[in-house]
Structure 1
Amino acid sequence: MPPLSTPRYDHIGQGYAHTRKEDPRLRDRILAALGPARTVVNVGAGAGSYEPRDRHVVAIEPSDVMAGQRPRELAPAIRATADSLPLRDGSVDAAMTVLSLHHWDEGQERGVRELRRVATGPVVIVTCDPEVSGAMWLMADYLPEVAALDHRTFPRPAQLAAWLGGRTEIVVVPIPRDTSDWTLMSFWAHPERVLEEDARNATSGFARMEPAVVHRVVTAVRRDLADGTWDARHGHLRRLDEYDAGLRLVLNLPS
């Protein structure tokens, strides 16, 4: 993870909360996975999406930019990193992290083990399977650089299970067409979103690319939408209500 003084999302997190609103269906999955836990640590808490409102939450977020977008009704976030949580062993009922793990860099394994250390009950990780996301049209046809980045930065679900120990369930989470959380995976249904700067910039995949790469992809998608090439290849997706673009919920319980 970047040094606490310069978290990655201090650079790429501006305006994040405008397009990355929580999807109620994913929220319900997360709450169900947390079970009856009353105290929860949310690591990489960001702007507060998917954070339970009916439980005591300890929010951990290294980025001032992201923490500054948290709604006023949520508790302020503690500045700390995943690989060194300022909590005692077994001090909370559950731990969660939502699409944050790929930013923990060299601290990933220790961070995952920290989730297990501090929680007496479930650990819930929402992440991406890069083998699946890399096959989506955007990465496969236009943006192989993000596919390569995802393969480097997203641990495979089996690796997460090994780090966590105990009993682990990997749940496939199809992404609805009408999701309000505009992750890069949500672009499966909305190629026009590639042309929207705000939508691109609120995804770490695009935000971490060089400007020349972004320009190349935008130009190619705009051309292929205009001349019908995209619809000829992928128009069948417009008839789907949901799609597996690689989103996964990892639920771990202690032995």
Structure 2
Amino acid sequence: MTTYQYPAVLTIAGSDSGGGAGIQADLKTFSALGCFGTSAITAVTVQNTRGVTGIHSIPASVVQGQIKAVMDDIKPAAIKIGMVHSPELVLAIAAQLKQYQVPVVIDPVMVASSGDPLIKEETIALLQQELFPLALVITPNLDEAQLLTGMSIQNVEEMQAAAQELLHTGCRSVLLKGGHLKGARLFDVYLPRQGEGHVYESAAIQSQNTHGTGCTLSSAIAAYLAQGFPTVEAILHARHYVYQAIDQGKDVKTGEGHGPLNHFFSPQPMQKRQRK
């Protein structure tokens, strides 16, 4: 009898009680793109569309256990890493992931859309030293890139310089998101360690519903990687998905602050592939 499996993806991230970002956004994205989502929760946040008022860290040993339980049994084909806010968690996750040969997408979540900090300051250097070298691609936004590099980033040329600096951390490629630049056009810079870079351009969408955009993009990249797409194609498809999710959710009111994207504007059926 022929048996099948779904393309599985693991997210290692924090829980957003408001449902717009973090684990919740990741799992919605995986499902919307036809993948089977699994999770290792690093922290529980007290959060809604207006901001973050509390963070409760999950013990490092429990996070390691979650990763091992999923990887050894379900065997995800890609991993997304989001909020990792303490040095202990960075070390534990890095030690566990070194045992697997799976593409890793890292969204270095440091500041929420509301401006609330989501990472301890002493964690930033360790994140670059221990986790970035494991990444196929990292996806910082401008604020995160400025924290990571110490550089001022005000235009596309400075984005390219910052991406080049971030490659020195050992990651294989950088997708630097320029959504925080002001203007009618938005720019993202992709720079790989090997091969040609690219500047992506798109029209800005006027919307208050952008909470969880970074989580969603990195999760979408991981989902497409799990489906077998090369990195550049995975990024192209992921950017298109996020753009549509923002556009299709711009007229919806969820909460009183920054609302979520419309993750299920066009959900894909779960994919079945012959099990090897």
Normalising to structure 1: TM-score of the pair? Answer: 0.34
Normalising to structure 2: TM-score of the pair? Answer: 0.32
Structure showing the higher helix proportion among its residues: 1
Structure showing the higher strand proportion among its residues: 2
